Amino acid sequence: MNPGSRESDGTFDIEVPVAIVGGGACGLVAALTLADAGITPLVLERDALPTGSTGLSSGMIPACGTHLQRAEGVEDTVEMLVHDIQAKAKGQADPAVVAAVAKASGPTVEWLVDDHHVELTLVGGFLYPGFSAPRMHAPPSRQGADLMAGSLRAAEAAEIDIMVNAKVTELFAGEDGRVAGLRLERPDGGAEEIGCQAVVLACNGYGGNTDMLAEHIPDMASAEYFGHPGNQGDAVNWGRALGARTRHMGAYQGHGSVATPHGILITWALMMNGGIQINTSGHRFSSEHRGYSEQAVDVLAQPGGLSWLIFDDRILQLGRDFAEFNLAEAAGAIRHGADVDSLASAIDVPAPALALTLAETHAFADGRNRDPFGRDFTTQPPLSQPLHAIKVTGALFHTQGGLEIDAGARVLGSDGSPLPNLYAGGGAACGISGSQVWGYLSGNGLLTAVNLGRIAGQSAARQINQGIET
């Protein structure tokens, strides 16, 4: 018997073929996949209403080679996506998992749209950092809440059982690591035990667990966590108790653009369309085009951990395509200035410094000078008056380390061979973002949640349907 798990006495309140822990994107996609294969899964969700980090997200799912891309004349291939992921992760991501996820990405988005009527559109008009093609697929609102709503509607149509208020607390497993079932707790203190032939861990990472953050990501332990608080690292802890390997536990996704004090994510589209980020002294401090994840660290290193996004009317209009941006505007997060001096006064930044910063970016844009931080300003028009600004801070969005898996989303044991019937995806598994904050390519979170959910569902279905030992 493994520490932290126990052998079952063989009696369970109910028996299901596959238990899925967590009802976010990963869990719901795994469930839909199993239902399509004729297997009735049970999704166990600790909250009264499944939301997860997926529901808090912008719902942007990268995928390559989709009919939505083709309809817009976008050429994108598995090879291009693999290249972009590994370029950002400096080659540190597991090549087999990257290849599997990239290969699954197009078909999975098409399956969600065509077979399960989850409404997704291609986000065009600009490239996210590190992308060689427009490949974000998102609900028209660009809100994860709508991705969750669409996925839950699909689950209902597929008659998938989602047990809510069901916090899984323990896996039952024998010496061989085979999971026989799990225990869940109800809000009233009651407990139930469920037997199963396979388990999919879709309960995300440890962003909500301050002790685990202090151990693995001490630099962000005191930063604001913007993800779902119920993600407490359970998958990692159960997996470890079963002898599973973990990897890249210090990796995470940050974001350098959370409106403060409003607590609203401001889309990075502002920066990719020509906006800049300055500190309270009026100076830029990094290239805004490397990635929004590592920008969190740079923003938090500025005085007060604060910075201002600066943009103009053209970008203001683009921002309004994003529901969250409109929320921020309605909440009064946007300051305005008819010219540099009045904006400087509105945001309490020294006017000469802001004027100099803007003049520098104009020189970068027309090729008179080169940005010392390495951003290419020649691809967008320089900022023009009137100007606008939003005060932001950096935050931790979700952890990227987790259970090591193979290309079939099977959790690997200490010797590198798969555990008998345990699968993981999304934030529960080690991601494809390398070992550090800089390795996160835009959209890696939902890329691995959705596609590893799909792959885990397929692997578990194969195990059940063929009665195979995985």
Ligand X SMILES: Cc1cc2nc3c(=O)[nH]c(=O)nc-3n(C[C@H](O)[C@H](O)[C@H](O)COP(=O)(O)OP(=O)(O)OC[C@H]3O[C@@H](n4cnc5c(N)ncnc54)[C@H](O)[C@@H]3O)c2cc1C
Residues forming the site for ligand X (CB under 6 A): 21-27, 44-47, 50-54, 56-60, 167-168, 202-204, 226-228, 230-232, 234, 265, 397-398, 426-427, 443, 445-447, 449
Smallest distance from ligand X to CB 395, Å: 8
Residue pair 39/17 in contact (Cβ under 8 Å)? The answer is: yes
* Distance set, CA 461 to CA 21, 32, 38, 260, 468 (Å): 16, 11, 8, 45, 10
> How far apart are CB 24 and ligand X at their closest, in Å?
2
Provide the minimum distance between the beta carbon of 74 and ligand X in the complex, in angstroms, as a whole number. 18
Would you say 145 and 50 are in contact if contact means Cβ atoms under 8 Å apart? Answer: no
CB of 421 to ligand X, least distance (A): 18
- What are the start-end ranges of the E strands in 270-345? 276-278, 306-312, 334-337
HSE (CB half, 13 Å, CA atoms) of 453?
33
Minimum gap (Å) between residue 243 Cβ and ligand X? 20
Q: Report which of 286, 302, 284 is spatially closest to residue 362, judged by C-alpha positions.
A: 284
DSSP 6: B
For residue 273, which phi and psi values (nearest 5 degrees)? Answer: -95, 5
CB closer to ligand X out of 383 and 450: 450
Q: What is the smallest separation between the CB atom of 87 and ligand X, expressed in angstroms?
A: 17
Say if CB 81 and CB 107 are below 8 A apart. Answer: no
Minimum Å gap between C-beta 356 and ligand X is: 33
Closer Cβ to ligand X, 88 or 228, answer by number: 228
Assess contact for 264 and 319: CB atoms under 8 A.
no
Q: Which is nearer to ligand X, 59 or 457 (CB)?
A: 59
- Asked if residues 366 and 383 have their Cβ atoms less than 8 Å apart, the reply is no
Nearer Cβ to ligand X (47/360): 47
Q: Is there a contact between 421 and 199 (Cβ–Cβ < 8 Å)?
A: yes
| Pick from 135, 138, 136, 379: nearest CA to 271 | 379
Which residue number, 282 or 319, has a Cβ lying nearer to ligand X? 319
Q: How far is the CB of 389 from ligand X (least distance, A)?
A: 21
Residue 287 or 399: which CB sits closer to ligand X?
399
Q: Residue with structure tokens 């000469």?
A: 352
Nearer CB in complex with ligand X: 2/231: 231
The one-letter amino acid at 126 = F
In whole angstroms, how close is the CB of 192 to ligand X at the nearest point?
12
Look up tokens 């991705």; give the residue. Answer: 147
Cβ-defined contacts of 286-290 (< 8 Å, 24+) = 286/373, 287/371, 287/373, 287/374, 287/375, 288/375, 289/129, 289/375, 289/376, 290/129, 290/374, 290/438
* DSSP-assigned states of every residue in 119-159: --EE--SS--TT-SS--EEE-TT--HHHHHHHHHHHHHHTT
Supply the minimum distance, in Å, between the C-beta of residue 202 and ligand X. Answer: 5
